[in-house]
Chain A
């Protein structure tokens, strides 16, 4: 490629220097901040000062970090769901729909089953039903993919819209099981008290937005990380991801691998939805629709480069941008939430662009005069 008299050449790296594994994410965030700064300056806000406020509101203040951890909880789950499928080269983007279904499934269990159960049983039951509902939502795409080779990208995406309408129908369109019968205001029927967890106060007397489910999500990530390293299932999926021909050669059942990975991915996203039920919402809450945690999970997985432990970090980072951005919007010098969205987009763009530099060595030389 020739740009302005310079020859830009890319050569694939045979081995990736360790320093780059750190440098690339750091520089992605840095350049994203620079781009966001341009937008801030253009809209008349001091970039550095705004960033410091964002930092404080998103990460360093007590309420900032607890809000962030609360928002990160379902995001860890959808991030794990995306990473789990993407590692197998299955590009399921149905986490959004599976999250809604997890909320619906979890709420059903919370309303119908949890009444007579102690919290220690009721909460796991709600989470399991959420996982089950999330997995079922991807069952049809999984089957189509494994049997007919249908693109899971399209089928899972389309089901997101079906899930969205299903959720709207349950709350706004009908007066059925999930609708709160005690009020004419359209909202979800609350689950049993025993199926709810109280927020963590972190040894203070303050009420936070962080629930114990955050730690469940973290444990989930660690267990997944470990299991996929040592188990035969992890081994077989890794072989399949690396080379489907090799998996076939070794006698692995590719239809089972593909469908099971999609189902587990759906279950992970579904748990995220159910965590919303046992945590802040306590019911089917259409408020979740506006947050886009399912799609954000894809971004988180990409930032974490599909590493389950890194998903935790990426989810917290990403959630902080959102909570910090929200806080800026209502501060004395209101910064539009759009700036936070620009930042999120820029981080993703630079992180993915950084992959180019991780995988390739780029050399720029001055073009010789033609003879």
Chain B
């Protein structure tokens, strides 16, 4: 079979996959029975049963911390369970390392790629392979890699250097690597996290091609919407336990969401309730270069009081740099930034703050907060401080925020690194939204990245509240759903340029998705 034409063949492949399901043997390709895995203070898997048929796509769905990645790690040999068994084709196997897993044809593709940037695709594929000859038979390897990419619809040049590849292509390298090593069962951990919508489609084609040849796939994800299309079966986990399992066709997004969260949830778009007024943040003709490479070019945007402007884009298209330019952390070669009437492009971080800017960076614990310092100490971070630090008022303030925002912490003197992601984000938002006096402009990057559904709701409510209070908010996010639910205007940043701008209420999701992937519409 040659490279699969895009999407058109999907239905055919799907039906073939299903027919192979019907003729499946009695023994599952991979099975976990009563698996329990504990970490200090938490039971990550509590007597979990899971099985995967040959040729099946079985999705593990759950929020962060639900235990799905732990289960996948047990299945591939990375973790050893305290209790329970792992069975391959009906026979119990003991896996002491991922290498043992590989020997049984089980391979995991991690969310964060484990590739050597300076090596070629082929070199990365054979990396760690045991039976390599002393002198690499490069041509043979490249031919075999090419054959695999052909068979499974994974367009890749074996001679390309990995450092030059996009996230989607790197993921293909990881998958090819697993297949090259003879994997029959593939565990894909959050495989769509870094992909643009069209790349996700490509991945799904590959997954179908793999199951068609009798390989089985475990798809680990917390993204409800997309897993419904790809899965033959979906098993939902919450708090280390399996809360339910549905087959293809029975899947109902609302029901799955309830299984995930454990209660009914309502994702409603939030938009500005009152008319917008003055322009508080204005970026004009900003141009940024670094090491001779163009990072941002000709960026123009205005944010008015009482609105949220969402900037969507796949990671690495200049979003972070845009936020840092506005926050005064990078100085653009050309262009102006105006915060509440004060030009700040060359005023530095302190200048931007004094003009009325608050900034919530993407990296909460390593940038927005000092991880080993207490909530109180973090509250004073972006304040004007005299010769002595006034911790007394910061303590009162921290206690107040802990109550108001229901921040779960043993107390205000707890280091922020001991807080959960959602609670750390609440601390950061509280400081930037309320504690910094007079900040009327907020730049916020990926505010809910890595948070569970409950915390996402809370953070969105906070941002909505700040918008109603008349702040001008620029939200940069890789999560398109987030941009779509919150933003009054949507922009797409692609390779340092704003390539699309639409009103949030009736943004064309498909056009936005294509713009994120760089396809002009």
Name A residues whose Cβ lies closer than 8 Å to a Cβ of B: 11, 14, 230-232, 234-235, 238-239, 242-243, 245-246, 248-251, 370-371
Contact = CB atoms under 8 A, between A and B. Distances in A.
Interface residues of B, number: 31
Contacts of B371: 242-243
A251 B348 contact: yes
A243 B381 contact: no
A330 B54 CA distance: 83
A231 B387 contact: yes
A207 to B, nearest CB: 44
B370 interface: yes
A242 B350 contact: no
Contacts of A232: 385-389
B225 interface: no
A251 B328 contact: yes
Contacts of A14: 40-41, 418
B441 to A, nearest CB: 16
B509 interface: no
Contacts of B363: 245
Given A245-B366, A249-B367, A251-B349, A235 B385 contact: yes
B277 interface: no
Given A242-B370, A245-B366, 18 more contacts: A14-B41, A231-B389, A232-B387, A232-B388, A234-B389, A235-B377, A235-B385, A238-B373, A238-B377, A239-B373, A239-B377, A242-B373, A246-B369, A246-B370, A248-B329, A251-B349, A251-B353, A371-B94
Contacts of A239: 370, 373, 377, 381
Contacts of B382: 250
Nearest to B363: A245
A360 to B, nearest CB: 12
B372 interface: yes
Given A14-B418, A231-B387, A246 B348 contact: no
Contacts of B389: 230-232, 234-235
B153 to A, nearest CB: 40
B219 interface: no
B494 interface: no
Nearest to A247: B370
B318 interface: no
A11 B350 CA distance: 40
A239 B367 CA distance: 10
Contacts, number: 64
Judged by DSSP, the binding face of A is helix
Nearest to B389: A235
A235 B380 contact: yes
Interface string B307-331: 0000000000000000000011100
28 contacts: A14-B418, A230-B388, A230-B389, A232-B386, A235-B389, A238-B370, A238-B373, A238-B377, A239-B373, A239-B381, A242-B373, A243-B367, A243-B371, A245-B363, A245-B366, A245-B367, A246-B366, A246-B369, A246-B370, A248-B329, A248-B367, A249-B349, A249-B359, A249-B367, A250-B349, A250-B381, A251-B350, A371-B94
Contact of A243 (B327, B328, B348, B370): B370
- Quick one: which of A14, A230, A231, A251 has the most chain B CB within 10 A? A251
Contacts of B386: 232
Q: What are the 3 A-B residue pairs with the smallest beta carbon separation, nearest first?
A: A251-B349, A251-B350, A242-B370
Contacts of B348: 251
Contacts of A371: 94
B192 to A, nearest CB: 28
A301 to B, nearest CB: 19
Contacts of A231: 387-389
A249 B329 contact: yes
B361 interface: yes
Interface in B319-376: 327-329, 348-350, 353, 359, 361, 363, 366-373
A265 B372 CA distance: 23
A11 B377 CA distance: 28
Contact of A246 (B328, B368, B418): B368
